[in-house]
Structures are given as C-alpha cells and as structure tokens.
Amino acid sequence: MRKWISFPKQSGVSSKQAHADFPEQAVYEREAGRSGFFGPATHFHHRHAPTGWSEWEGDLRPRCFDFNKLTHPQTISPWRAPNLLHNAHCKFRIWHCQEKMEFLVRNADGDELLFVHEGRGELYCDYGHITLEKGDYFSIPRSTTWRLEPIEPMQLVMIEATNGSYQLPEKGLVGNHAIFDPACLDVPEIDAAFQAQYSEESWKVEVKRHGQVSVITYPYNPLDAVGWHGDLAPVRINWRDIRPLMSHRYHLPPSAHTTFVAERFVVCTFVPRPIESDPGALKVPFYHNNDDYDEVLFYHEGDFFSRDNIDRGMVTFHPAGFTHGPHPKAFKAGMEYKKKFTDEIAVMLDTRDALEMGEICASVENKDYVYSWQEQKD
C-alpha cells in the first residue's frame, strides 16, 4: 500500500479557492498536479504568465500540426494510414476514406475508436449495419470485422487502444445519466441493408496484429450473422449528445469532459457551453503542469477560445514537462469576460505514457508555435 504525501499548506499571498478570486498583485495562477487532475496539487500565483518564455532549445516543446496539409496515400485501408502520434498503448491516426471498401478489416491489436471529422458513410460489421455521420464517435471492440462505404468522402480520426479496451468513465456524484445518458448509445442492427450484403462470393479480411497485416480469404462474406445477443458491441455517440458539466463559479478541469477511458489514456470532448459568469471565477483554461500526461487536442469545429490561429483539422501536442495554458489574447479576453459562450468542438487525448511523433509530422509542423505565447506588441 502507498499513499500520497499530503499536508495542505499556504505560503505568501494566495486565494483560498483554486481558479477563483486571485490576489490583485498576481493574476496568473499555475496548477502543479499529479495523476492528471485527480492527485495532489498546488496552485501558485505569479507576477508573470508562466508561458512567457523568450527562447526554447531542445525537442521538448509545445507543437502544432496542420494535418490538413498531409498528402494522403491512395488507399482505402485504415491500416495504411500512418501513425501520427503513438506509444505502446495508443495509436493516433487520421484516415481519409473516399471509396467503398471491397474487403474487410479486423484489428487484433486493440479496440479502435473512430471520430468522423468529415463526411458520412455506411458501416458494416459483425454486429450489423450503422450509418456514421459527421461528429460521431464509433467504438469498435478488438477483433471485430468491419468495412466502410462512404456516402460522402470521409475524414476520420482513429485512436487505437493498443492491447486495451474502451470503457466509460465513472461519473461519481452526478450519476450515471449525466454528461450523456447510456440510452444515447447506438449499436449496429441486423437490418435490411445488412442482410442485402450477404454474399457467397469470395471476400478478403485484412487482419492487423503486432502492426503487421495478414490477409484471410473466405469463399463467402463472413458478415453473415442473422442475429446476436449480449453486452459487448460497437457503440456510437455524437458530440451533440454530450451535455457538459458546468459551473458558473468554478472552471472545471478537462477531466470533467472525459468521454472514453482506456488503460493508459483517456479521450475527452469539448463541446459548446456557457462561460463562467461569477466575477471572481477564471473564464479560460488555467495554466497548469500536467506532468503525468501528454496532451493532444484535435480541433474539429468552431472558435477555439483558448488558442490563436488554430483552424479546424489542426492538432496541438503538449508533452508533459512544462507549463501550458491559454494564449495571451485569450487570457486577456477571459479577464474582460468578452465572450459568454464557447462554440468549440475538440477531441482531447491524454496519455499516461510519452507519445512519439511519426516521421510525417515534421512536414506539417508549425515550428513557430512554441513562441505563440509571447505578448504581441501594438
């Protein structure tokens, strides 16, 4: 058994409540915490913004990638989409699917989570048929056989739980029906569209295991189930089904927006919500050292209120080991309470283990992003 060393203390001038009622002489708060936002934490009050560095040397730095600029190989197999960010427990890819898949795929390495950034399509799998729309998450259990037929060209974020599985977060005091009701989860159905694709013709299945692809050929379409029962199945939920936790007096940490949990990482969803209205409450994300997690944000839609010059389809990557937080303009606007409502939709990946960048990332990185926290002189 072990226990965090815990002895709450106070030194100098500080607020009593985190993220609220800052002392006049130090409006910049920085949180240093452990275990994401669940462990012990200390809140510092600074005279200067904790992100006010003037120079940066070395590979550890905040990064921004414009994955809209990637050149995409002419393939309709998700297993040929390159790893963009990855570690032993997680693979982050972006897959462009524009043509009907005339074969099936199966991931034997772990559960797959799809997020539809663009387009819509029909997905067929062992469990039946489902239509995927823009903004959908679709969680696929390990070793499920599936294929996709785009109705419109599709761009999908794929997050693999390597050698792991996706589950829902514990919702604690707010109860099981908060954030989204489990009744919002849809599953594929053995419907007429699924039955219409039964076939006695030859089909191939691309199976990925240990990152390598094997091909199994069947003399028929193996998606031939006539029914199923049980409590293991792919599930779909759209970001529009998510009703975020809110507090008008306290800025909630990103962990309050957790959508899926895996063994060594979480996936969170930021959706539109009212901005805190209490005069003393912080109204933008707080400066923080999340020293146990690497943080990745995929920007799907809207106006990303804590960032400057970020467009849809971009990704920011903040490795553990330094303070990060809102850009200067966003922090100033928050202090002045200029916006009353956020209209951003973003997918966040927080990994307990350090992420590595795929080789292709260097070609679309904004190398000046590390200096984007510098105050702009008028």
Residue ranges for the binding site for Fe cation?
288, 294, 324
183-to-105, 130, 166, 172, 248 alpha-carbon distances in Å: 28, 16, 18, 18, 28
What is the token pair recorded at 243? Answer: 């009703």
216-to-145, 207, 210 alpha-carbon distances in Å: 12, 7, 16
Q: Please, what is the Cα angle at 27 between 25 and 30, to 5 degrees?
A: 125
**CA–CA distance, 192 with 285 (Å, rounded to integer):** 47
Detail the residues annotated as belonging to a binding site: 288, 294, 324
- CA terminus-to-terminus distance, the chain: 56
What is the token pair recorded at 34? Answer: 């452990």
If you write DSSP's letter for every residue of 206-269 in order, what string do you get? EEEETTEEEEEEESS-S---S---SS---EEEEGGG-B----SSS---GGGGEEEE-SSEEEEE
Annotation says 251 is catalytic: yes
Q: Environment class of residue 318 by beta-carbon count within 10 Å: exposed (0-12), middle (13-18) or buried (19+)?
A: buried
What is the token pair recorded at 78? Answer: 């998700």
**Which candidate in 89, 96, 251, 327 is catalytic?**
251
Detail the residues annotated as belonging to a binding site for homogentisate: 324
**CA–CA distance, 70 with 141 (Å, rounded to integer):** 28
User: Which of these, 303, 288, 287, lies nearest to 346 by C-alpha position?
Assistant: 303
Q: Which residues are catalytic?
A: 251
